[in-house]
Structure 1
Amino acid sequence: MKKILCLIFCYALLSVTGNELSPAAKPIDEKATKETVELFNSLRHQMGKGILFGHQNTTLYGVGWHSHKQGTKTKSDCFEATGQYPVVYGWDINSLWNPVIPKNKVKRNLDWMRELVLNAYERGGVNTFSWHLWNPISPEGGNFYDTTPAVHELLSGGKKHTWFKAELDKLADFFYRVKAIMAR
């Protein structure tokens, strides 16, 4: 009997404490932007309603297809398998500044990625970005697995410092343009 009463008490306690959102909950950063607070609140209100799923490059390429080649911006293996797009969209900026890609295709890639990011945003998705930078010091322009020491050459006074700052400016311009379109 004690076990049954203990189980009922635990269930009741969990039922009461697990259903309410604390009204005082807010981002820890007191200087959080309006957008950050909105994202925080949106994610909090999803608590208990399911699992938020993310997928890297979900509309960029998949099994046997690439959106550039098919001319589609909505195809997704995730969507085809589940009937839903992911909530979190991961993007790797590596493909935009890859020394193997001809310079005339870089703008096309930037424009294409910008559209995919905006489409995800319009679906209510959260976009995240990573940058697996190709090693600019390696004689062959090694990919991100190349362990040739490079950081000292990217910092002030290094041979690639000016180049690296220019790459960061391109990246900042990409994000600025995406944000400007989202603000409309």
Structure 2
Amino acid sequence: MSVTSSPEKSANQAHRLVDENATPETKALFHNLLELSKSHTLFGHQHATEYGHGWAGEEDRSDVKSVTGSHPAVIGIDVMGFSGQPANTVQKEKERLRKVVQDHYNRGGVITVAWHFNNPVSAGGFYWKDSVSKPAVKYIIPGGEAHD
């Protein structure tokens, strides 16, 4: 297996941020990633430090680290544990995820966040149209029976 970087852009194809109103933090991240990409290959992994093959919740562990010696540059978390849960459960999940995020940030990593929000009109999970869920959109838009 080999990994190659993308070809250099010509002078008239300069790398630039699309958002002219990007925050200073976003600009710094963009430029740091651009600089690193010249000599390194970075990749990400969802839930990398939360659980893996045969383990869960172990300090400073990821399957990627077990194989390569370091954690992935980017890790993704999911706040689906906030959806439809009692306040004490949400608080525990916030505390757990806060630690995951802070630990990875302190290692110099990038964090992404997803939210698989539970279907608000069915007893199903976050799947919004399948064999156990109602197709939620028609129920939650104005005029729908579940619109609040």
TM-score, length of structure 1 as denominator length: 0.64
Match of 2:103 in 1: 119
Q: How many residues align?
A: 137
Identity %: 39
Distance 1:137 1:26, change over 3 A: same
The letter of the residue matching 1:93 is V
Q: Aligned pair 1:27/2:17, yes or no?
A: yes
Distance 1:146 1:50, change over 3 A: same
Pick aligned residue for 2:92 from 96, 105, 108: 108
Match of 1:96 in 2: 82
Distance 1:161 1:127, change over 3 A: farther
Give distance in 2, aligned partners of 1:154 and 1:145. Answer: 15
Q: Over residues 10-56 of structure 1, what are the superposed CA-to-partner deviations in whole Å (9 max), with x where a residue is unaligned?
A: xxxxxxx949988x643122111111110110111012312111011
Please give the residue correspondences for 1:134-153 in structure 2 after superposition, counting only pairs within 5 Å. 134-138=118-122, 141-147=123-129, 148-153=134-139
Give distance in 2, aligned partners of 1:135 and 1:77. Answer: 31
RMSD of equivalent CA atoms: 2.7
Give distance in 2, aligned partners of 1:21 and 1:87. Answer: 28
The letter of the residue matching 2:90 is V
Match of 1:79 in 2: 65
TM-score, length of structure 2 as denominator length: 0.77
Could you tell me which runs of 5 or more consecutive residues in structure 2 were left unpaired when the two chains were aligned: 1-6
Give distance in 2, aligned partners of 1:157 and 1:37. Answer: 42
Q: Aligned pair 1:53/2:43, yes or no?
A: yes
Distance 1:79 1:146, change over 3 A: same
Distance 1:49 1:57, change over 3 A: same
Give distance in 1, aligned partners of 2:110 and 2:97. Answer: 15
Match of 1:14 in 2: none
Q: Rg: which structure is higher?
A: 1
Give distance in 2, aligned partners of 1:20 and 1:44. Answer: 15
Structure with the higher fraction of residues in helix conformation: 1
Deviation beyond 6 Å, 4+ runs, structure 1: 19-22
Distance 1:42 1:146, change over 3 A: same
Shift of 1:96: 3.1
